[in-house]
Structure 1
Amino acid sequence: MVTERPAIPAGFSLATRYLPSGRDIVGGDWYDVTVLPDGRVVVMVGDVAGHGMGVAAITAQMRHALRAYLVNEGSASVALRQLGTLIGALLPGKLATVVAAELDPSTGTVRVTSAGHLPVLHLTDGGARLVREATGPALGIDVATSYAEATVQLRPGDALVLYSDGLVEERGVHLLDSLEGLRDRAAAASRDPDELCEQLVAAAPTTSDDVTVLAVRRY
């Protein structure tokens, strides 16, 4: 659904992988990279429940609406609240999750906001951690009054990984255990974004869901 090459500032590199489910060529997963007027870059991964062209059309509407809100407001937290209101009014009954990471390329500071999405991974020389502090309800469940944000400092060599639930879902395994397994695999993986995405996808459990991974690294 991304028709242009994502923009990434000097000193950073980005890679993505998308694997559709075995049932459909397109599904509810999506990613985006949006450059704000002040130079900050917002990387996002989202998931709309369902598969097929109808769901793909909804993801495109959400992506474009969220882009507009981000450029207008300059804040992922505010933009997600507005997107939640839009979904409730125009797409009742639809459920979606989104995680957004606002990167200031001049400092390496990242502000993470999540609407019901899985925690992002912060990879450093010392290992990997799940950024659990960014929380908020999924879109379509409730109109959130606020979202808890988390701040991450990307130092040279650090990487940030956003992903969809297809990367960790495993039948018979508790989600928390799957997340810990992903963290351990990420800690041992390459920090090069392309290699990192490839290694995480290759080690992912077999799933019937879409898989999306986005990795950004500071050099």
Structure 2
Amino acid sequence: MTDPHDSREQLRRLQLVTDAALSKLGVEDMLHELLVRARDLLHADTATVMLLDEESGDLVATAASGLEREVNLGIRVPLGRGFAGTVAASAEPVAIDRVDATTVVSPVLVAEHMASMLGVPMITAGRVIGVLYVGARTPRAFTPADIELLQLIADRIAPATQARLHSLDRATAYALQRSLLPSRPPDIPGLEVAVRYVPGAQVGVGGDWYDVFELPSGGIGVAVGDVAGNGLRAAVVMGRIRSALRAYALETDDPADVLTRLDRKIHRFEPGAMATAIYAVIDPTLATMALSVAGHPPPMLAAPGARTHLLPVRANLPLGTHISRPRHNTEFPLPVGGTLLFYTDGLVERRARPIGEGLHRLAGAVTATGPDELCTSVMATMLDGEPAGDDIALLALRRT
């Protein structure tokens, strides 16, 4: 027969974990409060959250109460190894009553004389995102009720930590991306230039970029690109690719050669990354330009007295495809008064609209007007009052 005192105690513990007032706290305060309650309710000395770094496959100490040193030291545990790694790999609770180098990876747990530990997986959307565990310096046996309670706490912590990471990731990526994208294009005699960058409402910041710079030869380099993916990793990769393109552009005025070198760099130092890009070099007289396209939508040209059209470029493979093929340049005249629009695919692609339809709509919106006015009108037409579903980068230039 169930002891009524035990039942009442378990109910009290569950109420403390499911307390609706916790939802009114900010993410950081809620996480801290839940870790403190986990320690108190399970009579433990420490409670720790380790989150899975999907890129490295390691669990990383992210938040703690009672043993903050694990977080401060950046303790990492490979998936499948030791106590925490086993919890994450099996997606099942694990309890141990011996804490030494044979059962745990973290030397801090051994140094702090932990005697018993209980860990449970943190799961969201059907996948393990980390581990919550408690430790006690006094030997003890964890009961099924303890496991149930700790799992309930983990279920509350999981979305809070994801929200925390998403917020940090988004804010950091946005700050990084804004620092890498010039807010004002350089003043170039004979050219008017305008740029726009709009982060996607759904996926947040990502790997879109634009660039305009003067070359040692007197020509002008123009680049627009899009790193596959979104968030902090895409923004970081974008920054490295943009910097590398600038460096290669100083060595040669051949756009295809620059993209070939950039592709080689991505293969070597950015495994798994993929990007589309256009790189163009406008000659010092501004009369012509050569450009090379790596899987990117071609620019659109509007000239006085002519029909707006996509430049008939010779397309090449995206960067990072691991297929080695020669890259090619295409040369075009740049007419006086002509306006050229470079853009990323977020401008023309929608889930419910084929890209061909988006390009047709864009052609109707591009006119031989000032670049700044053009960027504004194009964004208004293409978004039609809706938030951007993907990042959008625009670069418009007109030969005056």
Render the CA deviation track for 1:74-129: whole Å, top value 9, x for unaligned. Answer: 22110101111111111111110111121114142011211110011111111211
User: In 1, distance between residues paired with 2:257 and 2:307?
Assistant: 32
Gaps of 5+ in 2: 1-179
Structure with larger Rg:
2
The 10-residue stretch of structure 1 (50-59 or 23-32) with the greater mean CA deviation from structure 2:
23-32
**Alpha-carbon contact 2:337-2:399 (below 8 Å) kept:** yes
Q: Would you say 1:208 and 2:389 are equivalent positions?
A: yes
| Higher strand proportion (structure 1 or 2) | 1
Give distance in 2, aligned partners of 1:3 and 1:114.
22
Runs of 4+ in 1 over 4 A off after TM superposition: none
Name the SS of the counterpart of 2:239 in structure 1. helix
User: Cα gap change, 1:196/1:217 in structure 2, threshold over 3 Å: closer, same or farther?
Assistant: same
- The one-letter code of the counterpart of 1:135 is A
**Among 258, 281, 293, which residue is 1:102 paired with?**
281
Query: How far did 1:144 drift?
Result: 4.0
Matches within 5 A, 1:115-134: 115-125=294-304, 126-134=306-314
Hey, what does 1:198 align to over in structure 2?
Answer: 376
* TM-score, normalised via structure 2 length: 0.52
- Work out the CA distance in 2 between the residues paired with 1:4 and 1:65: 20
- Return closer, same or farther for 1:89/1:162 CA change in 2, 3 Å cut-off: same
Q: Which runs of 5+ in 1 are unaligned?
A: none
Match of 1:22 in 2: 201
- Which shows bigger deviation, 206-215 or 81-90? 206-215
Where relative contact order (Cα < 8 A, 6+ residues apart) is larger, the structure is 1
Cα distance per residue 1:44-87 (max 9 Å; x no partner):
11100111122111111000101001111222110101111111
State the AA in 2 paired with 1:218: R
Which amino acid in the other structure matches residue 182 of structure 1? L
CA 1:8–1:75 in structure 2 vs 1: closer, same or farther (change >3 Å)? farther
1:147: how far off? Answer: 2.0
Which structure is higher in helix share? Answer: 2
SS of the residue aligned with 2:326? coil
User: Would you say the 8 A contact 2:302–2:368 is kept in 1?
Assistant: no
TM-score of the superposition, structure 1-length normalised?
A: 0.92
Pairwise CA distance, 1:153: 1.1
For the aligned residues, what is the CA RMSD? Answer: 1.7
Q: Secondary structure at the match of 2:251?
A: helix
**TM-aligned CA distance change 1:106 to 1:151, over 3 Å:** same
Which residue type is aligned with residue 151 of structure 1?
E
- Distance in 1, matches of 2:251 and 2:302, equals 31
